[in-house]
Amino acid sequence: HKELDPFPANFLWGAASAAYQIEGAWQADGKGPSIWDTFSKLPGKTYLGTNGDVAVDHYHRFREDIQLMAEMGLKTYRFSVAWSRVMPDGEGAVNEAGLAFYEELVDELRRYQIEPVLTLYHWDLPQALQDKYNGWEGRETIAAFKSYCRVLFERLGSKVTYWVTMNEQNVLTSLGYRWELHPPNVADTKRMFQANHHLNLANADAIALFHELVPTRKIGPSFGYGPMYPLRADPNDVLAAENGEAFNNSWWLDVYCKGKYPKVIWKQLEALGIAPQLLEGDLELLKRAKPDFLGINYYHGGTAAQNTLEKERIASQEKAFSGIDPYLMQPKDQQAQTPETVLFQSVENPYLEKTDWGWEIDPVGFRVALRRVSDRYDLPIFVTENGLGAIDLEKDGKVHDSYRIDYLAQHILEMQKAITDGVTVIGYCAWSFTDLLSWLNGYKKRYGFVYVDRDEEDEKELTRIKKDSYYWYQEVIQNNGLRK
């Protein structure tokens, strides 16, 4: 790839994880329960009833895991802090043992010159806050989050350079408050947009506090970004794709980076009576807090077409329906209050292959994503997740995951093209370092460079086994990029 710019000399090659998906030790050393500890135990909610009670036991094996990172040559490692480990009730008393765990983790990473990237919120809200304040629907949770952030900023501000506020706020709100797939298991768009507004405020509060307490370090949210394409050159489809961009992406990114909600969507929500309630000072706060970088998690984008179905629905008024497609919901149903209906409909992209879980594989979309986000917001980008979920087979201590290598290589190449185009990318964290618990797919859907020997039924020994992709990524890091 001679014609391409090289990766910057200090490029942060890394891998990522999240507390609930790796740590286990769900009640150890004073940890309080999170909404995921509760939700995963409700019958039928997760794949074969898997939960994070043990996960891959990273809590007890973090030194071994970091040893594997060091041997791989990892420059950075993104992990999340379990809020209820640090504050069992989500506010008030601090659990020193929980805090000490993260300090030891950070120290251990530093010992090997691995730059820690600390995510403050990767979906595991303390159950106590859900019970007391209705979670993110209560404004009290914003204050609780700020108090938790303060504890971490004060304790780890001098040791951690990169901080992530919210992980994929778009995903957690949609799955949690609309599709009943994540806790708090709600299907109500009005409540979703209100909770989302509070998450925006919590994000802004955390950033503002960080800049006050730790002015020399960097903070930003990690957003699950997928570029929207028009199905055809028909201007109506192009318009639909723009609507899709606004609804799926700018609705969050504009708030993070410009401190305001995009008008098109706001008006649409107002018309449906589901716009969030704003209090005095909210918009000022959103405007004031600016991220230093933008974390982008990239898996795939989406394709939009003009929503002709909406016209049909209005014409016929009522149609039998089952499923979660918003534009086919019964009009009287809560779910019919959906802003997409007049804006766009999501359709399959005829050009893209899919993973075993039906996720489109679109490396060029990664370049499109990086360029769009960089052009719009002009912030350095940290790729905080990208990877392939697949069924891996282990035999005689080997895992031949050439499909993962192909996937990652194609995405890294497109990222390098984006850098050559002029985008500032400071780092890339593949999802994930070790195999881990997929929120809804147990241990069947694996992402890691390191295989963990366990499955849904049997925890086994949790032995760590390096996959082929481990050695391949080791070389990528050594070369500071793909081999020419």
Instruction: Give the range of 133-141, 310-318, 369-377, 435-443 binding ligand BG6 by CB under 6 A.
Output: 435-443
Residue closest to ligand BG6, measured at CB: 438
Query: Would you call 459 a catalytic residue per the annotation?
Result: no
Instruction: Give the Cα separation of 114 and 441 in Å (integer).
Output: 30
Among 163, 439, 449, 470, contact with ligand BG6 (rule: CB under 6 A): 439
- 275 three-state secondary structure: coil
Tell me how far, at minimum, the Cβ of 262 lies from ligand BG6, in Å.
22
Q: In the chain, what are the helix, strand and coil shares in percent, each to the nearest 5? A: 45, 15, 40
* Binding flag, residue 116, ligand BG6 (CB under 6 A): no
Instruction: Give the Cα separation of 340 and 326 in Å (integer).
Output: 7
Task: Give 270: exposed, middle or buried? Use CB within 10 Å, 0-12, 13-18, 19+.
Answer: exposed
Minimum CB distance to ligand BG6 smaller for 326 or for 389: 389
Ranges within 17-56 binding ligand BG6 (CB under 6 A): 18
Instruction: Give the Cα separation of 321 and 309 in Å (integer).
Output: 13
Instruction: Give the range of 27-35, 84-92, 249-257, 433-441 binding ligand BG6 by CB under 6 A.
Output: 433-441
Among 147, 236, 410, 441, contact with ligand BG6 (rule: CB under 6 A): 441
Tell me how far, at minimum, the Cβ of 46 lies from ligand BG6, in Å.
11
Residues 6+ apart with CB under 8 A from 97: 29, 30
User: Under a CB-based contact definition with an 8 Å cutoff, are residues 261 and 255 in contact?
Assistant: yes
* Binding flag, residue 438, ligand BG6 (CB under 6 A): yes
Among 276, 291, 363, 389, contact with ligand BG6 (rule: CB under 6 A): 389
How many chain residues are in contact with ligand BG6, going by CB under 6 A?
14
Q: Which of 417, 395, 413 is nearest to 405 (CA)?
A: 413
Instruction: Give the Cα separation of 481 and 484 in Å (integer).
Output: 9
89-124 as b/e: b if 16+ CB within 10 A: bbbeebbeebbebbeebbebbeeeebbbbbbbbbbb
Minimum CB distance to ligand BG6 smaller for 214 or for 430: 430
Among 57, 385, 401, 435, contact with ligand BG6 (rule: CB under 6 A): 385
**What are the distances in angstroms from CA 210 to CA 107, 286, 294, 361, 464?**
21, 14, 15, 36, 36
- The torsion angles phi and psi of 226, rounded to 5 degrees, stand at -135, 125
Tell me how far, at minimum, the Cβ of 165 lies from ligand BG6, in Å.
14
Residues 6+ apart with CB under 8 A from 209: 146, 149, 150, 153
Tell me how far, at minimum, the Cβ of 391 lies from ligand BG6, in Å.
12
Tell me how far, at minimum, the Cβ of 169 lies from ligand BG6, in Å.
11
Residue of 310, 385, 414, 456 marked catalytic: 385
Tell me how far, at minimum, the Cβ of 222 lies from ligand BG6, in Å.
8
Angle at 74 between CA 20 and CA 357, to 5 degrees: 50
Ranges within 280-299 binding ligand BG6 (CB under 6 A): 297
Q: Which tokens is 182 given?
A: 């994540």
* Binding flag, residue 360, ligand BG6 (CB under 6 A): no
Instruction: Give the range of 69-77, 103-111, 264-272, 437-445 binding ligand BG6 by CB under 6 A.
Output: 437-445
- The torsion angles phi and psi of 383, rounded to 5 degrees, stand at -75, 110
Among 229, 431, 451, 470, contact with ligand BG6 (rule: CB under 6 A): 431
Among 143, 171, 187, 477, contact with ligand BG6 (rule: CB under 6 A): 171
Q: Which residues are catalytic?
A: 385
Q: Which residues bind ligand BG6 (CB under 6 A)?
A: 18, 167-168, 171, 224, 297, 385, 389, 431, 438-441, 445
